[in-house]
Amino acid sequence: MSATVEIHGVEFAYPDGKRALEGVDLDIEAGERVAILGPNGAGKTTLALHLNGILEPHVGSISIGGLQVVEQNFAEVRRMVGLVFQDPNDQLFMPSVREDVAFGPANLGISGEDLQRRVDGALDIVAGTEFADRPPHHLSGGEKKRAALATVLAMAPDVLVIDEPSSGLDPAGRRELMGTLAGLPMTQLVITHDLPLAFELCGRSVIMNQGRVVADAATGVLLSDDDLLAANRLEPPYSFDRAKDSPRP
């Protein structure tokens, strides 16, 4: 299942006074895969943390599938929005991968055969069955990324938010993870500095800088604009082919 994401006029400042979001407006249709691009400190991760209520806007509103992201809805919102952090060690803490994947749905009250189906299904999607019973700290970087993704998929989210999915991966691990993400049906926000990944995976991209959305267009269009990329401290992909067909939506 997929859900729309509606972000209207969102502003946020950290307790030290640093303003991280400055009136962000962004609508994402159900089933879209959208890359969120921008330099370090642009507000990308801060925005992601607003989508399931880890952070709350000082001004503006966010809704997921028509449900407002406010305190009384946090339980349902956090079921609907799955957030995969940049560092998989932030999500893997149980003695085995299988127990990590089961943790979230078990906390929802799912048990027995239903829980087993959730766990097995999530591990199967990420090709993680082979390491399901291993301790997470014994996994490779790519395996940890896949295990962290499985912990989120076991919750059956309507929206997947994944922060720097290719960070720390070798080419084979990157290719495997991209294939997994491309096959998922839910709405996806992919926060990344990896512009080739954005081009291959996401039909649409948004560039953020200084807490604002500064560009929102088809990924191929944005990556063809050298001046736009330079102004936002982004480098075009090496040998980027401007005549190449757009990626699948």
pLDDT at 164: 92
For the segment 73-102, what is each residue's pLDDT rounded down to a tens digit?
999 999 999 999 999 999 999 999 999 999
Q: Is the pLDDT of residue 113 over 80?
A: yes
Q: Which residue has the tokens 């995976």?
A: 201
Quickly state the pLDDT bin for 110 (edges 50, 70, 90): very high
Q: Is the pTM of this model over 0.95?
A: no
Q: Is the pLDDT of residue 240 over 70?
A: no
Concatenate the DSSP letters of all residues of 157-210 into one string.
-SEEEEESTTTT--HHHHHHHHHHHHT--SEEEEE-S-HHHHHHH-SEEEEEET
Tell me the average pLDDT of the chain.
92
Cα angle: 214, vertex 220, 43; to 5 degrees: 30
Report the pLDDT averaged over residues 181-196: 94
Mapped onto helix, strand or coil, the DSSP state of residue 30 is coil
pLDDT at 243: 41
Lowest mean pLDDT among 58-62, 66-70, 141-145: 141-145
pLDDT at 147: 95
Q: Is the pLDDT of residue 239 over 80?
A: no
Pairwise CA distance, residues 216 & 204, whole Å: 7
Amino acid at 31: G
Nearest to 200 by CA among 249, 238, 247: 247
pLDDT at 173: 84
Report the pLDDT averaged over residues 125-134: 95
Quickly state the pLDDT bin for 54 (edges 50, 70, 90): very high
Q: Is 51 exposed, middle or buried (0-12, 13-18, 19+ CB in 10 A)?
A: buried
Kindly list the domain boundaries of the chain, sorted by start residue.
Answer: 5-231
The CATH fold assigned to 5-231 is Rossmann fold (3.40.50)
- Copy the structure tokens of residue 195: 């512009």
Q: Is the pLDDT of residue 249 over 70?
A: no
Percent of the chain with pLDDT over 90: 84
Q: Is the pLDDT of residue 163 over 80?
A: yes
- Whether 85 and 92 have beta carbons less than 8 Å apart is answered as no
For the segment 9-42, what is each residue's pLDDT rounded down to a tens digit?
999 999 999 999 999 999 999 999 999 999 999 9
